[in-house]
Every structure is written in structure tokens, then in C-alpha cells.
Amino acid sequence: MPLQPPFDRVVFDCDSTLSCVEGVEELATSDELRAGIEELTSQAMTGRIPLDEVYGKRLELMSPRQIDVQRVGQRYIETAVKGARDVVSALHALDKEVRIVSGGLRLPVVAFGLWLGIRDELVDAVQVFFDHHGKYRDYDRESPLARNGGKVEVLSRLEAKRTVFIGDGITDAETKEVVDGFVCFGGVALREEVAARADAVVDAADLRALLPVVLSAEELEHLSRHPKHARVLRGLPRT
């Protein structure tokens, strides 16, 4: 079904949707380890193996220190998808609730969210635990976001609002059953399995291409009356 704006809530995946990297892969300390992690992630994102099978495996393989996990937040910011901050700002100007629901690690996703202008209580991600030396201990095994269907669970707990979800992975496409629209963002990684299930596909590398898709004609008109957002609609950064 084609997407039917307007929406009151816009929910983003984080990795490969708002940022060009997969946070967990950034924790790999060697090329060999990185290749192994990338393969596991790719299998999980296309639905070939269940997410909960790879979640703990990836973290145990890397056993990241707290400081390494914190650094991922900086990596997210450095590799933010072009236009991401402008898009969040434009959505806020239209009084939309903007959230991040991510299978990534909460510490760096929250840091990235704040940089984008999204408060920490509007970020859902997976908590990781460290010992008092800052060494990896475990992750929150109760978190629904570390398994398939987890995003559906998190979204269905939210107050009912007209919601659109934007993401690149199979766990994002799963949300289709509980949201009013699902957009496949393929600007970083376009996955056929995900695009096939989407109500709309945006495959531009610039996230600003999303605005004409998720906003109604009235909302676009409203934005175009504000000089700083009008620039964003034309694909230009705000000044």
C-alpha cells in the first residue's frame, strides 16, 4: 500500500539509516575479526539467521571495553548520513515525535541521538554491562531489541499515534505489522528483502530525500514557508 502521510511519530533505525556504519562492526579490533562480524550482521539483517543467535556472539568475539563502546558514539556522528540532522530538525518543526529504535548499543546510540537533537528518553537500544575495570561483562539479555521481532514489541508498547518507521534491515521491515507505514532507506545499504516489504523506498544517499515521502503536501508547504527548512527541502543544508 502506498504511504499515507501525515504521521505524528517518525521512528528511525540507527545503523545504516541515520549513520553510515554498523556500530558493532566499529568495535572490531582487527580486519579478520571485522570480516567475521560483518558476515554475521549481514546474515542477521537479511533474515538468514535469527538476530539473537548473532547478538551475543558478536559481542563475545569482540569483548569491547567501555571506552571502545563510547567511541562508537563519536563514529556515529562522524559518519552520520548526509542531511540526518536537518531532517530531524524539520520533523521537530512540524511537532512530530521523533524516536530511534535500534538494535545497537544504547550508550553510543544515545550520544548520537543527542547530537541529532533526539532526547535520550526517545531512544530505545540495547544496554551493555561492564565490570569496574570497564571490561565487557554482558548485554541486556532481556532486551527485545537483541532478537527478531523486538522492534515490533517496543513499538507496540508506545502510546497509539500515526507512526512511520524508517530503516534498512529485516528487523525494521518487521515493524510493518504495527506501524502505519514502513519506509526502506537504502541510501547506505539497499537490501532487496527489505525493499520488497516496504510501502516506499528511498535510496538516495541524502536523508533529506525522505521528507517529500513521509510528509503530506500541507506539511511540505508549511516547511517551505520557513527559510531554513525551505533550504532543506531543496536538498541544501540549513544555514
Q: In the complex, which residues of this chain contact Mg ion (CB under 5 A)?
A: 13, 15-16, 168-169
Q: Cβ–Cβ contacts within 10 Å for residue 30, how many?
A: 9
CB of 33 to Mg ion, least distance (A): 20
Shortest reach from residue 152's CB to Mg ion, in Å: 15
For the bound state, the minimum distance from the C-beta of residue 103 to Mg ion, rounded and expressed in Å, comes to 8
| Closer of 6 and 47 to Mg ion (Cβ) | 47
Report yes or no: 26 and 75 within 8 Å, Cβ to Cβ.
yes
Phi-psi region of 53 (alpha: psi -120 to 50; beta: other; left: phi over 0): alpha
Answer yes or no: are the C-beta atoms of 146 and 52 closer than 8 Å: yes
Choice between 15 and 124, CB closer to Mg ion: 15
The amino acid sitting at 5 is P
Q: Is 41 exposed, middle or buried (0-12, 13-18, 19+ CB in 10 A)?
A: buried
Closest to Mg ion by CB, 16 or 143: 16
Nearer of residues 194 and 232 to Mg ion, judged by Cβ? 194
Spatial distance between the Cα atoms of 110 and 115, rounded to a whole number of angstroms:
9
Minimum CB separation of residue 132 from Mg ion in Å reads: 32
CA angle 216, 116, 172 (to 5 degrees): 65
Minimum CB separation from Mg ion for residue 180, in Å? 20
Nearer to Mg ion (CB atom), residue 199 or residue 219: 199
The Cα 151–Cα 186 span in angstroms is: 19
